[in-house]
């Protein structure tokens, strides 16, 4: 028999090795993530901030940029923005707003109110579940734009369209733009970053962060370089609408840039559009210089100078963040904090439930697996009921298969008495004395197999266990059957 050498467990999680090298090039990615804040109203006016309403029903003079309309800052938006900064370990500083001037009908004022050189949150970081630290350069406030629909032409794109239709419901919705440092080295890290950021934003209640509804939008700045060399020219990839396409778009763009360089061309700094259907990025426009936006301080708004007390008050409103919750759940269940079960259950916010099951005397490890497998739609089963089931299983009174059957009943009925369900299914009959008599029957039914087994032929045990399983319709616990056989033989 040949022993296969297994790579040491740690190798797969070694952060320093987590660099994608393709054809000798290293990937360098920074992400800009826009999130819509979970406020009732817009950033500078009192129209509802609500997704999915009839077009142009959430509009007011400020939203439409009507002459004389003046913006008034939404306090809840500022609090969410500070909350995001604190959750990302940023320094929260006094900040001001600027006007970013450009002519585009999705902002009828002809400028976007944003934060420029004095943003609210700076110099933070986010820890990926694998321990890699991604720097946060800034997290600043700005207003969202309206939604344009291009009519005519092909595929709803601007190019070749006959005219455009504008819905200003989204115009003026408060956003925070979170800009990472170019610390990301693999597309997997980029996916982890977006996923972790999403979970943090949801946990602190700052945004519902739904990529599919556009309340969380990711732009990726991608470049490649030979390790140790200065950063290469970057391209900004837009229209990345799911965590999966974050990875796909970055992998494609990395390949494209390497092919350009290897073919003797250079990468041109530009904005590119990710096309989910053909799996490619396409040129959108060459990047305008920052000063082409003619930024200047917004005269209609005064500085935000959060007091230390206010910041502390907001800090106290921040719940335990996903990373700490995963670590705690890991301690209680004995499962790895970066493992799938803990990630999934914590992301669903069901970690509290698993802890409650454990607190009520249930087995935390089993509860974690049950919740991950069967509670995708939320735990409607009282924690006490699940606690009983996990105990029945770990105490050996139910086999894994039987426990699964009982679990399905609990889920279907939003709870119930696991012992009673097990009894009703006839699982209860499988107590040890009942099982012993079934085993004895199997022995007398197949004396040849029994003799072989007694003479040390381990393979013969299969035939005997098989008979017991058949007689009990698979409800017997295989381990218990083997144990009874052993005790009969050794008696």
Partner 1 sequence: MSEPGTARLAESDVVHVAKLARLAITADEVERYTTQLGGMLEHFADIDSLDLSSVEPMTHPLPLSNVMREDVVKPCLDRGEVLAASPASEDGRFRVPPMAGEA
Binding site for partner 1 (CB under 8 A): 39-41, 46-48, 54-61, 64, 72-78, 94, 96, 101-105, 118, 148-152, 158-159, 161-168, 271, 284-285, 292, 294, 297, 299, 301-306
206 CB-near residues (< 8 Å, 6+ apart): 35, 37, 38, 80, 81, 83, 84, 87, 176
Nearer to partner 1, 89 or 93 (CB): 93
Of 89 and 275, nearer to partner 1 (C-beta) is 275
In which residue are the tokens 């369209």 written? 161
Residue number with CB closer to partner 1 (171 or 411): 171
Choose between 173 and 460: whose C-beta lies nearer to partner 1.
173
CB of 170 to partner 1, least distance (A): 12
Closest separation in Å from C-beta 235 to partner 1: 15
User: Which of 96, 463 has the CB closer to partner 1?
Assistant: 96
Instruction: Give the shortest CB-68-to-partner 1 separation in angstroms.
Output: 14
Cβ neighbors of 18 (< 8 A, separation 6 or more) are 130, 132, 185, 186, 188, 189
Instruction: Decide the pairing of beta strands 121-127 and 133-143.
Output: antiparallel
Q: Which two tokens mark 190?
A: 């980029």
Nearer to partner 1 by Cβ, of 115 and 346: the residue is 115
| Minimum CB–partner distance for residue 49 and partner 1 (Å) | 9
Contact (Cβ atoms closer than 8 angstroms) between residue 250 and residue 27: yes
- Shortest distance (Å) from residue 151 CB to partner 1: 8
Distance in angstroms (rounded) separating the CA atoms of residues 209 and 242? 11
What are the tokens at 302? 């005064």
Q: Is 270 exposed, middle or buried (0-12, 13-18, 19+ CB in 10 A)?
A: middle
CB of 312 to partner 1, least distance (A): 16
Beta carbons of 250 and 29 less than 8 angstroms apart? yes
Minimum distance from CB of 41 to partner 1 (Å)?
5
C-alpha to C-alpha distances, 27 to 195, 253, 258, 472, nearest whole angstrom: 19, 10, 10, 58
Query: In whole angstroms, what separates CA 128 from the centre of its chain?
Result: 11
388 membership: H or E segment, kind and range: helix 383-394
What value does the CA radius of gyration of the chain take, rounded to a whole number of Å?
30
Residue 268 or residue 400: which is nearer to partner 1 going by CB?
Answer: 268
The sign of the CA dihedral 159, 160, 166, 167 is negative
Residue 273 or 280: the one with the smaller Cβ distance to partner 1 is 273
CB of 64 to partner 1, least distance (A): 7
């Amino acid at each position: 028999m040949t022993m296969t050498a297994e790579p040491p467990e740690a190798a797969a999680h070694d952060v320093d090795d987590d660099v994608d090298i393709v054809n000798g090039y290293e990937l360098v990615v920074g992400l800009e993530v826009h999130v819509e804040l979970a406020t009732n109203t817009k950033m500078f006016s009192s129209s509802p901030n609500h997704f999915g309403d009839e077009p142009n029903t959430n509009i007011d003079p400020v939203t439409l940029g009507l002459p004389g309309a003046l913006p008034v800052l939404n306090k809840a938006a500022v609090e969410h923005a500070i909350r995001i900064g604190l959750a990302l370990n940023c320094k929260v500083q006094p900040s001001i707003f600027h006007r970013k001037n450009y002519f585009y009908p999705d902002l009828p004022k002809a400028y976007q109110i944003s934060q420029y050189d004095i943003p609210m949150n700076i110099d933070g970081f986010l820890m990926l579940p694998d321990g890699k630290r991604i720097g946060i350069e800034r997290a600043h406030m700005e207003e969202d734009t309206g939604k344009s629909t291009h009519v005519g032409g092909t595929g709803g794109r601007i190019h070749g369209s006959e005219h455009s239709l504008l819905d200003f419901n989204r115009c003026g919705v408060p956003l925070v733009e979170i800009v990472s440092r170019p610390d990301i080295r693999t597309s997997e890290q980029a996916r982890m970053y977006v996923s972790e950021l999403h979970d943090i934003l949801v946990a602190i209640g700052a945004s519902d962060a739904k990529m599919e509804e556009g309340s969380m939008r990711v732009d990726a700045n991608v470049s490649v370089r030979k390790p140790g060399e200065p950063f290469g020219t970057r391209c900004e990839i837009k229209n990345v609408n799911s965590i999966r396409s974050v990875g796909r778009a970055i992998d494609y763009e990395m390949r494209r840039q390497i092919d350009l360089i290897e073919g003797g061309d250079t990468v041109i700094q530009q904005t590119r559009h990710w096309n989910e259907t053909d799996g490619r990025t396409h040129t959108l426009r060459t990047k305008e210089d920052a000063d082409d936006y003619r930024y200047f301080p917004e005269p209609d708004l005064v500085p935000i100078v959060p007091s230390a007390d206010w910041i502390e008050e907001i800090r106290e409103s921040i719940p335990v963040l996903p990373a700490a919750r995963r670590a705690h759940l890991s301690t209680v269940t004995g499962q790895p904090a970066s493992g799938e079960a803990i990630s999934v259950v914590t992301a669903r916010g069901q970690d509290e439930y698993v802890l409650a099951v454990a607190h009520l005397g249930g087995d935390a490890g089993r509860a974690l697996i049950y919740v991950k497998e069967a509670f995708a739609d939320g735990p409607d089963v009282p924690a006490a009921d699940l606690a009983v089931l996990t105990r029945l299983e770990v105490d050996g009174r139910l086999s894994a298969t039987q426990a699964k059957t009982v679990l399905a009943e609990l889920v279907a009925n939003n709870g119930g008495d696991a012992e009673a369900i097990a009894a009703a299914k006839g699982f209860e009959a499988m107590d040890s004395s009942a099982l012993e008599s079934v085993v004895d029957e199997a022995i007398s039914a197949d004396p040849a197999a029994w003799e072989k087994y007694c003479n040390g032929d381990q393979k013969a045990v299969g035939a005997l266990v098989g008979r017991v399983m058949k007689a009990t319709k698979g409800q017997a616990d295989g381990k218990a059957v083997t144990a009874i056989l052993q005790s009969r033989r050794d008696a």
